[in-house]
Amino acid sequence: MKYTSIWLKDKFDNKIKKLNKNIETDVLIIGGGITGLSTLYFLKDSNLKITLVDSDLIGHGTTSKSTAKINYLQEHIYYDIATKYDIDTAKLYYDSQIEAINKLKEIIKKENIECNLEKVSSFVYANNKKEIEKLKVEKELLQKFGSIVNEINNNEEYAIMVSDTYVFNPVKYLYKLKEICLKNNKEIYEMTKIIDIKKIDNNYICYTKDNKIKTKKIIIACHYPFFLFPFFMPIKTHIEKSYIMAYLDNYNKYTYITSKKPTKSVRFYKDKNSYKLFLSNSVNICNKLDENKNYKELINQNNQVEFVWKNDDLLTLDKLPYIGIINKSNPNILIGTGYNTWGMTNGTLAGLILSDIILGKNNKYINLCSPLRTNNIIYLFSYLYNLLLNMWSYLRSKIIKNKKWYTNVKIVNENGKSIGIYEENNKKYKVYNKCPHMGCSLIFNEVNKTWDCPCHASSFDIYGKCIKGPSEYDISYNKND
Ligand SMILES: Cc1cc2nc3c(=O)[nH]c(=O)nc-3n(C[C@H](O)[C@H](O)[C@H](O)COP(=O)(O)OP(=O)(O)OC[C@H]3O[C@@H](n4cnc5c(N)ncnc54)[C@H](O)[C@@H]3O)c2cc1C
């Protein structure tokens, strides 16, 4: 059994180019997941100089750990949007998802991408009265929007089903996009992390550890932005994590998901073998911090598990993504994130919207997804909710950091600083036990041997190197500090 995503099991012919000099570009895309690479792909024919950087290998972030359903049947999202806004807004979101699905299919066909795309039926399932009522409304809305929806009504269990949804292998897809963009003279640098952005006159200077990139426009496609201002993501979203396992099983052409949290979700994947992917244990990031227990709970359900991993995504309270300009006074910084665990469609949609904004074209989904919509009074509740969640995560991280659910780990105080010590084979690995992002204490993850932030999901290895943001800095111990 491997503690890694099934999508990362294949070897890719990947020539890695790391930035080793100062450069200038017209547009800098920060992040090479589905958002960044889709945007780069849609801009590939423009005469603009476009550069994409990724702190890791492209496609190795959240996208590589998803269940990769390409689906417009997203729990009861149209019910939620229609309740929060109105039916027209729900319909516009539906149209955006259908357009994204069609675009993905079109690219895969046109570029001849081998990424195991399969048409499947998808179910959303509920077994309590309240959820069943929501699904019934969801069905009516979908029918009104033009979708063919079936229902399965079985005593106390109820499901809705559509048959025009898809699944694929997201990493194979992204590697092909990378290849196509490189052939179109677009620049891609991997293992190149942006740690700061400064505005100087009409340009932005983006800093890596050793180099600078001067650019006119920036697209933040790094999932969780590594800077706090001007968008201040912690009060606009919260993070949900889930655990996924893949085991050998007969192939089936369906997916399902529960309508209610904690989510359970299933899909199948076939290459040389066929696998069932099962997702469960979805919780808010600050809960269920004993990773050993979390993984065991999942693995114990099946003794044939080949791959097991976890993933997290940003949830917005109105269920709509944040795609577009983040601040009126910084119209040249754009973002694509907050996909509510539906990033295959929304990452593609972000690519369409962001590339249109860069090219000065109109796009009918700009207002729907605009991050500027949050400047509205109706978001006050959302801000308060997320603020309280942040405070709760912060306090929890401080209170429970010493909990003894892991062996070989000590948290000590040295000169007023909290130090985490992990011991393996009589060797001690020390780190500062404070996340550089917003100061939360870190929790040791016994399974992946990482220090994880229970507030915004940054992660550090036992040497203190930041392996996942939003933190842009390491927590390596320096005895001279
Ligand atoms: C458990 C789970 C299951 C999911 N299943 C599905 C599903 O079935 N279908 C679906 O549609 N969606 C699904 N999603 C959602 C989807 O995975 C995400 O919304 C989507 O992958 C986000 O893509 P992204 O490109 O924004 O981010 P990422 O894929 O994380 O890409 C961001 C990239 O930015 C890089 N980066 C970060 N910081 C920096 C920096 N400072 N400098 C340079 N580069 C940086 C990272 O290395 C990374 O490669 C799921 C999510 C979860 C949590």
What residue ranges do the domains of the chain occupy? 13-65+171-232+320-376, 400-468
pLDDT tens figures, 342-358? 999 999 999 999 999 99
pLDDT level of residue 481 (50, 70, 90 thresholds): low
Q: Which residue in this structure is represented by tokens 């036992």?
A: 462
* Ligand 1 midpoint to CA 116 (Å): 19
At residue 398, the pLDDT reads 86
Report if pTM > 0.85. yes
pLDDT tens figures, 114-157? 999 999 999 999 999 999 999 999 999 999 999 999 999 987 89
- Taking CA atoms only, the protein residue closest to ligand 1 atom 48 is 61
Pick the CATH number of 400-468 from 3.30.9.10, 3.30.750.24, 2.102.10.10, 3.40.718.10: 2.102.10.10
What top-level class would CATH report for the domain 13-65+171-232+320-376? alpha beta
Average pLDDT over residues 431-443: 96
pLDDT tens figures, 3-52? 999 999 998 877 899 999 999 999 999 999 999 999 999 999 999 999 99
Token duo for residue 196: 């700061």
* Ligand 1 midpoint to CA 13 (Å): 22
Instruction: Give the mutation target among 223, 311, 319 for probing the ligand 1 site: most ligand atoms within 8 A of CB.
Output: 223
pLDDT tens figures, 197-211? 999 999 999 999 999
- Ligand 1 pocket, residues with Cβ under 6 angstroms: 30-36, 53-56, 60-63, 66-69, 193-194, 221-223, 226, 242, 244, 279, 311-313, 337, 339, 341-345, 347, 469, 472
Instruction: Give the mutation target among 313, 437, 465 for probing the ligand 1 site: most ligand atoms within 8 A of CB.
Output: 313
Q: Which of 90-99, 255-264, 382-391, 438-447 has the lowest mean pLDDT?
A: 382-391
Q: Which residue in this structure is represented by tokens 């929806």?
A: 149
At residue 303, the pLDDT reads 81
State percent of the chain over pLDDT 70: 98
At residue 375, the pLDDT reads 65
Select from 132, 217, 118 the least CA-distant residue to 168. Answer: 118
How are beta strands 409-414 and 417-424 bridged, if at all?
antiparallel
State percent of the chain over pLDDT 90: 85
Average pLDDT over residues 90-102: 98
Non-local (6+) Cβ contacts of 475 within 8 A are: 431, 432, 433, 434, 435, 436, 442, 451, 460, 464, 466
* Ligand 1 midpoint to CA 34 (Å): 7
Instruction: Give the mutation target among 19, 28, 58, 63 for probing the ligand 1 site: most ligand atoms within 8 A of CB.
Output: 63
